[in-house]
Amino acid sequence: MQPAPPHEWMNVLWSDESPFVLRYSRKKRVWRLHNERYSPQCTIGTVKHDVKIMVWGCFSGHGVGKLYLVEGIMEQNQYIRILEQQALPSGRDLFGQNYWIFQHDNDPKHTAKRVKAFIQDSGINLLPYWPAQSPDLNPIENLWSILDHNVRDRRPQSKAELFQVLQDGWNALDRDLLRRLVDSMPRRIQAVLDNDGWPTKY
């Protein structure tokens, strides 16, 4: 089995969901004297249950698609609305009249009968043979981390403000970055094959 060449992956619209919290989680260093270990001035409080939202997004090597704020826990009916109102318009915007393939994982809501019927009726071409456990393969996983880091200085006070910050950061993602992520697909697949399906550096 040989990975497809990079130019063929440019036809794929990658998609996924990801959670984001109001405050960016990062480690901070504190300089202190030996006897100041528990001093209030030398400790940083943490937020145990920060407010978070779930977003759905898609991208290709040509650009980003639409970012969608998931309402509650996503189920198949909401996912069908996402396909109809977000994925299909994103595909048309990014590929025009050219052939493109849609990628999503094997989450139960993605493989429900109603969802499969909608995909078939809408003429969406699915990327075949996507493995059940594939965090090392989908480049959008890297994009979520990059987006989170890019908006690390965020100070939103509500879910709506956080989504706006994420939308601005999403739309500002560099096109060269998107292309590099897509171009990495042959290397990702080869790394998984070389490691017999176990996790890789990706």
Instruction: Note whether residue 188 is domain-resident.
Output: yes
Distance CA 123, CA 195 (A): 35
pLDDT of residue 122: 96
Please check the confidence at residue 1 and state whether its pLDDT lies above 50: no
Half-sphere exposure of 8 (CA within 13 A, CB side): 7
Q: Is the dihedral of CA 117, 120, 123, 125 positive or negative?
A: positive
The mean of the pLDDT values for the chain is: 84
Alpha helices in 10-72 (DSSP H): none
Tell me the two tokens of residue 91: 């595909």
- Total domain count, the chain: 1
Instruction: Note whether residue 202 is domain-resident.
Output: no
Q: In this predicted model, what pLDDT tens digit does every residue of 27-74 receive, in sequence order?
A: 555 556 666 665 666 655 554 556 899 999 999 999 999 999 999 989
Instruction: Note whether residue 42 is domain-resident.
Output: no
What CATH number is given to the structural domain containing 146?
3.30.420.10
Instruction: Note whether residue 29 is domain-resident.
Output: no
pLDDT of residue 75: 94
pLDDT of residue 191: 73
pLDDT of residue 91: 97
CB atoms within 10 A of CB 43: 12
**Percent of the chain residues topping a pLDDT of 70:** 75
Instruction: Note whether residue 32 is domain-resident.
Output: no
Instruction: Note whether residue 155 is domain-resident.
Output: yes
Distance CA 61, CA 57 (A): 14
Q: How far is CA 199 from the centre of its chain?
A: 18
Residue range(s) defining the domain that contains residue 176: 6-24+47-194
Check if the beta carbon of residue 115 is closer than 8 Å to that of residue 81.
no
Q: In this predicted model, what pLDDT tens digit does every residue of 117-167 receive, in sequence order?
A: 999 999 999 988 776 665 568 899 999 999 999 999 888 889 999 999 999
Question: What average pLDDT does range 178-194 have in this prediction?
Answer: 84
